[in-house]
Every structure is written in structure tokens, then in C-alpha cells.
Structure 1
Amino acid sequence: MPEPSPSPKRRGRLLRFGAACVVLSAVAGYVVVQYVTGGTGDPGCRVVSGGADGATYEFTPEQAVNAATIAAVGTDRAMPERAVAIALATALQESGLRNLTHGDRDSLGLFQQRPSQGWGTEQQVTDPAYAASIFYKHLAKVRDYTELPLTVAAQRVQRSGYPEAYAKHEPDAVVLAAALTGTSAASLTCDGRARAVTATGPDAVRAALARDFGRDALQEADTESGADAEKTSATGTEAPMTEAPATETNGRIVTLPVSEDTIAGGRSVGECGWQLAHWAVANASALRIERVSYAGREWVAGNTDSQWRSTGSTSTEAAGTSGAGGGTGSVRIVTAP
């Protein structure tokens, strides 16, 4: 005897249940994809390759801040651009460039480092600057790491259960590294919309510079230059980049001088200047930075296209337009009122 057909009421419940399952599956799939790719909602930031391929990578302000920190720590340790790309690809795979407070077993932070395995305390491995520094320390011990495939170099540091996983992030990491080390000029932009701002103004910018480029070098530069308490430096210990930056009189501007006399470690003026300029843009949402200018180009928060536009400057600062070029000038950071 055939089973009776479900009642219209029951059939409606089944249809609603099925639809709910489909929606939940779609949401779960979206969350998984976002985690794997590193996306966390509205991108907000974009980097464009300086090469002929015109490759682009879009990411969130949170990811931009973390990526800029990784790059700054790398150049502070005099690590080459290839090392920065390896670090960025690793963080993209391990955390999606997010400073996670959870992970497999006791894994934490950008690189999912485990305190139980000697990477540092929980507080240390969830400090992006510390996490990047200890990653580079281990990477530097890998023989000929710049000549190895990226995924092999990363795996020799991480000892992951998925040794090939880093390879898929290499194209994005290479584009990011070029922008965030300054070898690709005027290539990183963000919308600059404030998100969860906790501190603003020149003091917050200087504190963030110290966080990423090193507080010890900051203090040494102040002493060496005789700078007063209103000045700070974004120099690195092994590869100093600039003189102590001066805060201009209106209380909203931080100026970071860049010249041949302040460059060390084999880097050009243009590279150092564009690294600082891109760092400021990457931190624009977090620090409420509304304008950044360097080498005759300017980025302004809130522009719909978020492009670097020519300022029409004819000064020597414009000589730094090429990431690999020379010239003198300064990076000018204007914070919101």
C-alpha cells in the first residue's frame, strides 16, 4: 500500500526547512571561502602590480595594516623583498592576514605560531611586529631561501601539515611586497574610511611608526639628531630609512624626510619614500589619515577611485616618483581633525 502524501502544511514545513538548509550552506560556503582567501567583507584597499601584467589584489584595511607591519619589520631587519613576499604568503595562508586569537591547538596570530613550540608567549605571538620579527629570524637561518620556491622556504620555517599550501598565495604576496617595500611606486590605495578608530592625530601616527619600524631606532635617531620631544624617526636598526620626522605647526601633519644622506642598506630614496607613503595609506582607516603625499603624487581619503594623483609639484621631491629612483624630499602625512 503506498505511503500517504504529506499534508500541505507538512509539505510547506519541509520546503521551508529545505530552503533554510540551502541558505545556511551558502553562508557557510561563503565564510569558508572568505577565510581561505583572506577576505573579510568590503575590501577597502587595493594594490596594483607595477609590471606589464597589471595584476591586482584587493584586501581589507585590517589586512592592509598587518601586511604593512610585516613589510616594515622585514626592511627594518634588512631582509630582501623576496623575504617579505615569503612572509606575506605565509600569513595569507595561516591567518588570511588577520591577527587571530585562535587556531589549531595553541596556534595564534598572523603566522599561527605556537607558544608551546617556543615561538614566544601568547602575548608575543599575537603582537604582529613580534610575530613578523620571529618569522624572519627563522627564515634567515634557511640556507639560500631566496633561491628556493616560495612554498619550500615558507614550509622550512612553519613545518605545516600542508607544505604546498603557500604556493597559491605567491602571486598576491609578490604584488603586495613590491608595494609595501616601495619598489612599486604609487601602487597601493585604500578608501580611508575610519573603522574602529582608537587613536588619532600625529601622536598616534608616530606611535604606529615606532611599533612597526622599531622603538629603539626611534630613540637613537632622536638622540643622534638632537630632535626635540615633538620629533620621531621611522628608521630601522639595520637599514635606517629617514631622519627624525618633524611635526608641522598646525598639529595635524607628520613629515618624514627622505634623502640620499639618510639611506642605508642598499635601498634607494624612492623605495624608502614609497614604503613610508604606502605604509601611511595602509594605516589610513585605523589612524584616520586623510592625505598622504610624496614625490609629486598625492592620495586623499574618500576619493571614489582612491588614486594617487599628481600634485603638479616641480620640486626635487618629484624625482622620487620611481620606486627605484633617487631624489630627495619627504613623505607628508595629514591626519583628520
Structure 2
Amino acid sequence: MPTTRRGGSRRGGVVLSEQRPRSRRRRALTRIVLALFALSIVVAGYLGYQGVLRNFGGPRCQATALGNSVDFDPSQTGYAATITGLAVKRGLPPRAATIAIATAIQESKLRNLRYGDRDSLGLFQQRPSQGWGTEQQILDPVHATNAFYDALVKVKGYEQMEITKVAQEVQKSGYPEAYADHEKEGRILASTISGHSPGGLGCRLDDAKGSDPKALATSLKTELGVAATPRGRTLTVKAGSDLQAWNIGAWSVAKANQHGVTAVRVGDHQWTRTRDKDGWTWKKVSGAAAGRTVTITFAPAAQS
């Protein structure tokens, strides 16, 4: 007569133990552990990705227009804003800013260099010995840019000319074909900063360590011909058109790193200073001012 053993039973001479249920429980536990492990990898990957977005490669500005994007560091973008702003102030066509920015990229990589071939200096590598101004003047981006435009407008038909020919006329370059390599970059930067591509310029920036609203107001007047009076940490500008409003807004973002700007609002869209990818975008906000009102907000002044 069959007997029953603790932990199992006998059927046909074979002992059936609790091994099978335990095995199922182990497999279920293993699946749970593997699932949790996979989830931890996904979470770690996401956090790592966010860390890369925030920290990899340093602060950058991105301009998007014509279905393409280019990016430069904040200093380069600030100089592009000066070049574009002065073209707008002078009433020059967008093509003028495109040519000037492409030239500065080729000549100096959009940097205000204190050196160059022979006595060449500044954004456009202009030479004091060739009548572009004194060394001090050429190292002033506003003077250098206006000097470039003074020469450019004397070139008859420059708006329709190939940039290689314009460069030869204005810069007297030995390698005029090189300017064509940067025409697309110049066009995208000029389009976004001038306001023709609304919301096309954004910057990922570190936290501001201080601010200078008065200095930005002075630059607005000098480079865009726009008057604005700071009130505390805010500067409000009433633009004459939607195009001008976006020009002021994009220009202010391009200057944000230099002057401690933390937010720029144009109508119902706002750029907010941040280190992650949101710094490249403008978000729609509620309770905003009229479409032609630009509001610039600054970080607290640096503590001495």
C-alpha cells in the first residue's frame, strides 16, 4: 500500500516533490529581477542622456531657418547679432547681413581677434594700413561692422552677386572662393536674428552670475536703434512691427550670455535661460503682452 512522505507523494514508484512549484517561483522571481534590471538601465540611460544634454560640449546657441540648423558658441552668436543688428539699423537688405556674417566666419571664425596676417585684426581681419581705421577702432565690433558695410554698399549690384565676387571686391581676398563655404551659415543666422524666422534662435546657457540691464539697453540703442529704459530687472520694448519685435527678441537671446538675461518674451512666446535642450526653443506662454511687446528679464546683479 502506497505511503505518503512529507514534502511529496508516490505515484507509480516515483516521488513527486515540491520541486516543480519551487522552480516556477524561482523563474518568476528571476523574471522580476531581470525586468527591474532592464528598467534601471533605461532610467540610467535617460538620466545620462539628460546629463549629456545639460553638460556636454559647453553652452551653445542654435539657429534654425530654411529647414536647417547651425550652432555656434554664445560669443560667436553675439557677434553675429551685432552684425545683423547693424544691417537692420542701416536699412540694408538681409543679403547684406548674410554676406557680412559669412565673411566674418571665414576671416576670424566670428571672433574678435587681436592678431592676423600682417596687421590684420578683428572680426573681418581688417588692416589699419589699408584704411579700415585705427587698431582700437577695428577691434570695436560696431566700428568694424559699419566699416565693412560702408565698403559693401559701394559694390554695385552686390545683392545679386555671388558672394565670392563680393568678397573679392570688399575684402580684396586672395581666396574669395572660401567665402561660399559659409554662405548658408550666414543666411541662417541673419534670417533668425533679423526676425525673418521667428523663434528660430535659442541658446543653452549656464546660470547667469550677474546682469547688466543698462549695458544691454545701451547696446540696443547702438546696434538696433531701439530705445529702452530698464526698470529693476526688467526691460520692456515696444516694437513697431512683428518683424522688429522678433528681431529685438532674437538679438536679446544672442546677447543673453553677455548681459545676464534669463528670459525674453515676444508676445505670447518666451525663451527661458536653461542648460538643457529647452534653451534652443521658444515656448508659448499664457498671460503674455501684445505681440509687438518684447520683455527682457535679467538675473539679480552680482554681489560684490
TM-score between both structures, scaled by the size of structure 1: 0.69
Query: 3-state DSSP class of the match of 1:58?
Result: strand
- Counterpart among 137, 142, 153 of residue 150 in structure 2: 137
* Whole-angstrom CA distance in 2 between matches of 1:42 and 1:212: 27
Q: Quick check: 1:293 aligned with 2:265?
A: yes
Q: Counterpart in 1 of 2:202?
A: 189
- Counterpart among 36, 52, 60 of residue 44 in structure 1: 60
With over 3 angstroms needed to count, the CA separation of the structure-2 counterparts of 1:192 and 1:184, relative to structure 1, is: same
With over 3 angstroms needed to count, the CA separation of the structure-2 counterparts of 1:194 and 1:139, relative to structure 1, is: farther
Q: Counterpart in 2 of 1:202?
A: 213
* Bigger CA radius of gyration: 2
- Counterpart among 118, 123, 128 of residue 141 in structure 2: 128
* Whole-angstrom CA distance in 1 between matches of 2:86 and 2:61: 21
8 Å Cα contact 2:260/2:298 also seen in 1: yes
Shift of 1:247: 2.9
8 Å Cα contact 2:193/2:250 also seen in 1: yes
Query: 3-state DSSP class of the match of 1:79?
Result: coil
* Whole-angstrom CA distance in 2 between matches of 1:110 and 1:303: 27
Letter in 2 for 1:287: H
Q: Counterpart in 2 of 1:114?
A: 127
- Counterpart among 223, 230, 255 of residue 247 in structure 1: 230
Query: 3-state DSSP class of the match of 2:235?
Result: strand
8 Å Cα contact 1:45/1:61 also seen in 2: yes
Letter in 2 for 1:296: D
Q: Counterpart in 2 of 1:309?
A: 283
Query: 3-state DSSP class of the match of 2:271?
Result: strand
Letter in 2 for 1:297: H
Letter in 2 for 1:245: A
* Whole-angstrom CA distance in 2 between matches of 1:122 and 1:82: 28
- Counterpart among 296, 299, 302 of residue 333 in structure 1: 296
Cα-to-partner distance string for 1:165-186 (whole Å, 9 max, x where unaligned): 1000011111011011111100
* Whole-angstrom CA distance in 2 between matches of 1:160 and 1:146: 19
8 Å Cα contact 1:87/1:154 also seen in 2: no
Pairwise CA RMSD of aligned residues? Answer: 1.7
Shift of 1:303: 5.0
* Whole-angstrom CA distance in 2 between matches of 1:291 and 1:316: 17
8 Å Cα contact 1:192/1:289 also seen in 2: no
8 Å Cα contact 2:252/2:296 also seen in 1: yes
Cα-to-partner distance string for 1:51-97 (whole Å, 9 max, x where unaligned): 3xx21101001101100000111111111100000000000000000
* Whole-angstrom CA distance in 2 between matches of 1:170 and 1:192: 26
With over 3 angstroms needed to count, the CA separation of the structure-2 counterparts of 1:43 and 1:302, relative to structure 1, is: closer
8 Å Cα contact 1:291/1:333 also seen in 2: yes
- Counterpart among 86, 110, 120 of residue 97 in structure 1: 110
* Whole-angstrom CA distance in 2 between matches of 1:294 and 1:315: 8
Shift of 1:313: 4.5
- Counterpart among 275, 278, 296 of residue 250 in structure 2: 278
How many aligned positions are there?
242
**Runs of at least 5 residues in structure 1 that lack an aligned partner in the other structure:** 1-40, 214-233, 236-243, 260-268, 318-328
Query: 3-state DSSP class of the match of 1:299?
Result: strand
Shift of 1:330: 1.1
Query: 3-state DSSP class of the match of 1:146?
Result: coil
- Counterpart among 239, 245, 252 of residue 258 in structure 1: 239
Identity %: 40
* Whole-angstrom CA distance in 1 between matches of 2:82 and 2:245: 16
8 Å Cα contact 1:63/1:97 also seen in 2: yes
With over 3 angstroms needed to count, the CA separation of the structure-2 counterparts of 1:194 and 1:103, relative to structure 1, is: farther
Q: Quick check: 1:153 aligned with 2:134?
A: no
8 Å Cα contact 2:213/2:259 also seen in 1: no
* Whole-angstrom CA distance in 2 between matches of 1:280 and 1:45: 12
Shift of 1:43: 5.3
